[in-house]
Amino acid sequence: MIFFLFLFLSFSDDRAVQLQHGNCPTFWWSFNGRCYTYVATPMSWSDAEFHCLSQGANLVSIHNMEEENFVRSLIRNFDRAQRDTWIGLSDVHREGRWMWSDGSVVGFVNWNAGEVTCINMCSYI
């Protein structure tokens, strides 16, 4: 399964993770059997997801702290400023009902207390 990164969550556990290509295509990195890439082009959440879909992927879904640490490491590797980067979490289909764009279950979120995601029903890391 291939994921694109475009977004970025709240920073907490900043453990460095070694990026490896594994069996992923050029400019993609492997983590737990999945391939990830970072795209620095500014665009809306929906345009980012559409771009991912055109590549046979989705915006990243994050299911545990280990995966979040990997995603953060990937972002840091390509964007020293660590600007906000889109992830696949949104409530675009129903206000208040958060879903990953790849259809996987939302069981892990690492939001700070009182933190609100963006007004456009999307989330970032």
**CATH code: domain of residue 7:** 3.10.100.10
Q: How many domains does the chain have?
A: 1
Question: Token pair 């994921």 is at which residue?
Answer: 3
Boundaries of domain holding 85:
2-124
pLDDT of residue 10: 30
Among 40, 15, 34, 35, smallest CA distance to 25 is for 35
Task: State the Cα angle at 28 between 24 and 32, rounded to 5°.
Answer: 60
In this predicted structure, what is the pLDDT of residue 65?
Answer: 93
Q: Report the alpha-carbon distance of residue 33 to residue 31 in Å, rounded.
A: 6
Residue 115 is predicted with a pLDDT of 52
Highest mean pLDDT out of 2-6, 19-23, 33-37, 120-124: 33-37
CA distance 65 to 48: 23
With tokens 């029903």, the residue in question is 121
Predicted local confidence at residue 36, as pLDDT: 92
Q: What is the pLDDT of residue 112?
A: 61
In tens, the pLDDT along 75-106 reads 998 888 888 889 999 888 888 788 899 988 88
pLDDT tens per residue across span 8-63: 333 334 455 667 777 899 889 899 999 999 998 999 999 999 999 998 999 999 99
Predicted confidence (pLDDT) at residue 116 exceeds the cutoff of 70? no
